[in-house]
Structure 1
Amino acid sequence: MSNITTEVRGALGVVTLDRPEALNALTHAMVMEMADALRAFAADDAVERVLITGAGERALCAGGDVVSLHADVQSTRGQGAARFWRDEYTLNAQIARFPKPVVALQHGIVLGGGVGVSGHASHRVVTDSTRIGFPEVTIGFVPDVGATWLLTRRRGELGTRAALTGDHFGAADAIALGLADSYVPADRLAELVSLLETTHPDAAIEQLAAPAPAGSLVAARPMIDQAFAGDDPRAILERLRAAGKEGAAIAETIERRSPFAVAVTLAALRRARGLRSLEEALVQEYRVSRHTALAADFSEGVRAQLIDKDRSPKWTPSSLAGVTPAMVEACFAPVPGGDLELPQPGRPAAAHRVQPQPDQI
């Protein structure tokens, strides 16, 4: 049974992730089917624009099927997981370079791989129910699917704060993070989809968009930018503890995450700032994903959060003080089977996207 459905409505090609009982979490088969659907829409002259959405009210997509990836790591040392990531990251780049406008409805839960199939679209729409983020550090893993690219395209450290805490965010904060572009109230979403059948996304979204209800990140940005600067996660924690009640609460959150994953994530973000394209970031993330999936914390994190659900992981090392530079550096080394190979970009990623105003950058 397919968990991806497609239809053409007027000039709109619709791709729906259809696994609502699992919050539309991505399987390998879904990744491949979605890639095929997008290729078909790209070749169909009757399709002028594409919509990506999720079945049900609860989620666009809660991410990859992590339990299956964990099982593969246990049984094959991650050979199946490597194939999944190769195809998933290729899909992320395919969406970014799609030759027609792509609208992603980021409704409900949009985590990890859910951002991968929506955050690289040319038009990214959040709504009242949106809860978006990269929770990977909570399971001893690292933000991937182009996260290190998306979270480092704007000045300041909001992206670093999102990645190191694994927190979830609403509509306004998703826009501030650079993971979304526009807010459309939930009661206007059906109208938006109908309008897209005949109308370019720029005009359709402009007609129905509204200011998003206030979030929390922009007001806290001076503290966040100061505290999350630099390359040393332990120094970040020290500055957060000295930044008052809000900073101390953020520090406590980070201290509950995998120290190893936090250190590797920070290093990956800093390296991504110097990369030239989404594709380069995905190549780097492929290496990091392969290495961190084999580390003790990934298996332990998935066990604690998703299998036994005792929410009491025993991290190795148990604190950032035990994470050495050599341990972090090893995660960026070449992997067996070679690097991820992606087509060279023929045009800027998400070329149709409305550019942010200067005060948003």
Structure 2
Amino acid sequence: MTDPSTQDVLTRKNGRVGHISLNRPKALHALTLDMCHAMSNALTVWSEDDEVEAIIIDHHDGRGFCAGGDIAFLRNSALNDGGVSGRKFFHDEYQLNHQLFTYPKPVVAFMDGITMGGGVGISQPAKFRVATENTRFAMPETGIGLFPDVGGGWYLSRLGGRLGQFLALTGARLDGAEALWTGLATHYVPSEMLEDIKARIIERPGRIAGILSEPVGTPPKARIEENALKIAKHFASDRYEDILESLEAAAEEGDDWAAKERDTLGTKSPQTCKVALRQLAESARLTDFADNMRMEYRIASRVLTRPDFAEGVRAVIVDKTGDPKWDPATPEGVTEELLDQIFAPLPEEEEWKPL
């Protein structure tokens, strides 16, 4: 096994299982470019290794599975190199996402803890996605002027009841039971049982489905289910202004939930919210995950160097003032022409390509 004190990703074979553990606990295992490369390289080797039947992805230590990508690195790129190194990060991270989506062997992702952004990108492609009571699943990019990437358009657009649009716009955090109820997790296991479950998978990798489906207790009630009808109603439109108007009307009639979500959206980047709605609408019409990642790379290439990203990261993560000055400042200021520019194809030599 690789020395855990020196490696941000631990890769090893346990019996007939390839095991990847994220090991950057001080950063909640946020992904760096080197981590993406290490994971991709191991997956490539194991895909051709007849001794490896399945893959486990988890984290080695700490309270997060994976909090996202290296946001400080991306902001530095946006401010200092015109987005060149940031685009390289997105390009290779998306290749890892696609590699996992098309992987020929079953992958089990243990989403025990914070699972956001880049953590969603490496867990959602897995055939088996295991949540626990510690899971906190979110795509919070509207709060920092980015967008729900790493395949987020594909996964969120395929949730029922406009749940994907709700999650993309508000950045709402789901616990493990809610992740299971929405279908973002396939199984729920109490965290105290994880090591036993992993050991049994390593012992019998051909029986993953059976091992995960054996009785492990009843998960708590999914709280989001109580608001499912409201979500479907108020987030029904792909026009952002319609969603805001629907929430405002309900809030004026005394609906506290609608008022809370209206206020939440008031803190988000109008540009990101409109990008996310178009992204999910277009993703829903696609039939090839590679096309989705190509679209998301086009968006990332443009959004990275637009004002909202560096400003959002400053306000939320760097200075922690919570006072981003969005540009454009209003939904009305985010025109269709601007969205067309963000979604437009790149020159052929700059387009994203899978491995």
Q: Compute the TM-score of the two structures, normalised by the length of structure 2.
A: 0.93
CA–CA separation in structure 1 for the residues paired with 2:311 and 2:293: 25
SS in 2 for 1:129: coil
2:243 aligned partner:
236
Q: Is the 8 A contact 1:188 1:208 kept in 2?
A: no
SS in 2 for 1:169: coil
1:305 aligned partner:
316
Structure 1 runs of 4+ with >3 Å offset: 208-211
CA–CA separation in structure 2 for the residues paired with 1:208 and 1:130: 19
CA–CA separation in structure 2 for the residues paired with 1:158 and 1:231: 13
Q: Is the 8 A contact 1:24 1:55 kept in 2?
A: no
1:354 aligned partner:
none
1:42-94 residue CA offsets vs partner (Å, 9 max, x unmatched):
22222111100012130111000011011011111111111111111110111
Pick one of 269, 290, 294 that aligns with 1:283.
294
CA–CA separation in structure 1 for the residues paired with 2:14 and 2:123: 20
1:244-286 residue CA offsets vs partner (Å, 9 max, x unmatched):
2112211110111011111111111111111112211111110
CA–CA separation in structure 2 for the residues paired with 1:120 and 1:211: 25
Is the helix fraction higher in 1 or 2?
2
For structure 1, list consecutive stretches of 5 or more residues without a partner in the other structure. Answer: 344-361
Identity of aligned residues (%): 36
SS in 2 for 1:53: strand
CA–CA separation in structure 1 for the residues paired with 2:215 and 2:73: 39
SS in 2 for 1:219: helix
Q: Which moved more, 1:128-137 or 1:193-202?
A: 193-202
Pick one of 314, 324, 340 that aligns with 1:329.
340
Shift of residue 173, structure 1, vs aligned partner? 1.8
* Alignment of 1:34 onto 2:46: no
Pick one of 63, 76, 79 that aligns with 2:68.
63
Shift of residue 214, structure 1, vs aligned partner? 1.5
CA–CA separation in structure 2 for the residues paired with 1:38 and 1:208: 31
Q: Is the 8 A contact 2:142 2:171 kept in 1?
A: yes
* Alignment of 1:224 onto 2:236: no
Q: Is the 8 A contact 2:28 2:62 kept in 1?
A: no
Shift of residue 102, structure 1, vs aligned partner? 0.4
Q: Is the 8 A contact 2:132 2:176 kept in 1?
A: yes
Name the Cα RMSD after superposition.
Answer: 1.4
Pick one of 105, 113, 117 that aligns with 1:108.
113
SS in 1 for 2:298: helix
Pick one of 315, 326, 339 that aligns with 2:351.
339
1:270-327 residue CA offsets vs partner (Å, 9 max, x unmatched):
1111111221111111001111111110010011111112111111122212211111
1:351 aligned partner:
none
Aligned residue runs from structure 1 range 1-361, under 5 A: 1-199=6-204, 200-243=207-250, 244-335=255-346, 337-342=349-354
Shift of residue 208, structure 1, vs aligned partner? 4.9
CA–CA separation in structure 1 for the residues paired with 2:94 and 2:180: 23
Shift of residue 219, structure 1, vs aligned partner? 2.1
Q: Which moved more, 1:255-264 or 1:216-225?
A: 216-225
SS in 2 for 1:98: coil
Q: Which moved more, 1:317-326 or 1:282-291?
A: 317-326
One-letter code of the match for 1:236?
Answer: I
1:106-139 residue CA offsets vs partner (Å, 9 max, x unmatched):
0110100001011110100000100011011110
CA–CA separation in structure 2 for the residues paired with 1:208 and 1:174: 18
Q: Is the 8 A contact 2:130 2:187 kept in 1?
A: yes
Q: Is the 8 A contact 1:137 1:164 kept in 2?
A: yes
CA–CA separation in structure 1 for the residues paired with 2:58 and 2:210: 19
One-letter code of the match for 1:276?
Answer: T
CA–CA separation in structure 1 for the residues paired with 2:351 and 2:217: 43
SS in 2 for 1:220: helix
Shift of residue 155, structure 1, vs aligned partner? 2.6
How many residues get paired? 343
Q: Is the 8 A contact 1:2 1:30 kept in 2?
A: no
SS in 2 for 1:168: coil
CA–CA separation in structure 2 for the residues paired with 1:150 and 1:173: 15
SS in 1 for 2:134: coil
